[in-house]
């Protein structure tokens, strides 16, 4: 059975109802939690929430909002579990004149920072395609002999040093699962080819600019598949 958040509502009615039909309003709203809106001359003035809507509306007939509103709406909800978040969301979207604070979305991730990082990665990949990939594996001498050379891990590889041995990466796109191998030197092997960045490997199957940090997943210590973006921190 569907359990709707809003159980009852009364929209855009005169504030005189609270005084002239106090008992009727109380019969429906007393002890009930929910969201309410105050209006002034047809304009939204204040948005709030209360665990007892009847008491809160009567309070606003006497507090700092007295005389600043003439109509109201109220929405009775099933419980107050998400009321704080809902109130903060309404404040941030509507920005009512009478609300002094816009509220905080606790536990919500601000996407500005990861989006900036993802956009930079996409732009970098576009530049690589247009201007040429300058990442090259250099040869250096080792201490085992004057003539022995081994590939040095280029500093440009973003996943260099992430793992001590090869691990599996997974990505899901349009109902298909794609797998790749992240090597210890930071190279990603996918479909028989080596890629220097997660985005390059992801573009191999998406065929368009892609943020591989968001697309590819790797298992964390608890065994959960986590986006590379989240593991990068």
Each residue's pLDDT tens digit, 157-179: 889 888 888 999 999 988 889 99
Comparison of pLDDT for 88 and 32, the residue scoring more: 32
In angstroms, the CA 8 to CA 25 distance is 12
Percent of the residues in the chain that have a pLDDT greater than 90, as a whole number: 27
Specify the DSSP class assigned to residue 197: S
Helix axes 198-206, 112-131, angle to 10 degrees: 80
Each residue's pLDDT tens digit, 180-202: 999 989 999 999 999 999 999 99
- The yes-or-no verdict on residue 62 having pLDDT over 70 is yes
Cα distances from 142 to residues 92, 145, 147, 152, 187, in angstroms, run 60, 7, 8, 10, 21
pLDDT at residue 78, as a whole number:
76
* Backbone phi and psi for residue 53, each to the nearest 5 degrees, phi listed first: -60, -40
Strand order from edge to edge, sheet including 6-14: 6-14, 71-77, 34-40, 43-50
Kindly indicate the confidence band of residue 22, based on its pLDDT and cuts at 50, 70 and 90: confident
Specify the DSSP class assigned to residue 62: T
Q: What is the mean pLDDT of the chain?
A: 80
* Residues 45 and 68: beta-carbon distance below 8 Å: yes
- The yes-or-no verdict on residue 81 having pLDDT over 80 is no
Each residue's pLDDT tens digit, 92-148: 777 777 776 666 666 667 767 777 888 888 887 777 777 665 433 333 333 444 444
Comparison of pLDDT for 181 and 21, the residue scoring more: 181
Instruction: Catalogue all structural domains in the chain, each as residue range(s) with its CATH number.
Output: 6-94 (3.40.1440.10), 114-232 (no CATH)
What tokens does 148 get? 């022995």
Each residue's pLDDT tens digit, 206-223: 988 889 998 999 998 778
């Amino acid at each position: 059975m569907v359990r709707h958040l809003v159980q009852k509502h009364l929209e855009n009615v005169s504030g005189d109802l609270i005084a002239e039909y106090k008992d009727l309003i109380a019969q429906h709203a007393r002890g009930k939690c929910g969201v309410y809106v105050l209006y002034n001359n047809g304009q939204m003035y204040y948005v709030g929430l209360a665990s007892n809507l009847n008491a809160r509306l009567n309070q606003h007939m006497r507090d700092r909002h007295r005389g600043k509103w003439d109509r109201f709406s109220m929405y009775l909800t099933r419980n107050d579990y998400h009321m704080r978040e809902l109130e903060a969301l309404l404040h941030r979207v509507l920005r009512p004149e009478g609300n002094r604070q816009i509220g905080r979305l606790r536990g919500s991730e601000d996407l500005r920072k990861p989006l900036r990082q993802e956009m930079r990665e996409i732009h970098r990949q576009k530049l690589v395609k247009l201007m040429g990939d300058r990442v090259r594996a250099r040869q250096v001498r080792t201490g085992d002999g004057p003539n022995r050379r081994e590939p040095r891990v280029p500093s440009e590889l973003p996943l260099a040093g992430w793992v001590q041995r090869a691990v599996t990466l997974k990505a899901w796109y349009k109902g298909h699962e794609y797998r790749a191998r992240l090597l210890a030197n930071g190279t990603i092997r996918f479909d028989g080819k080596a890629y220097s960045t997660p985005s390059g490997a992801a573009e191999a199957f998406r065929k368009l600019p892609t943020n591989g940090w968001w697309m590819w997943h790797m298992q964390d210590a608890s065994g959960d598949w986590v986006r590379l973006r989240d593991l990068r921190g």
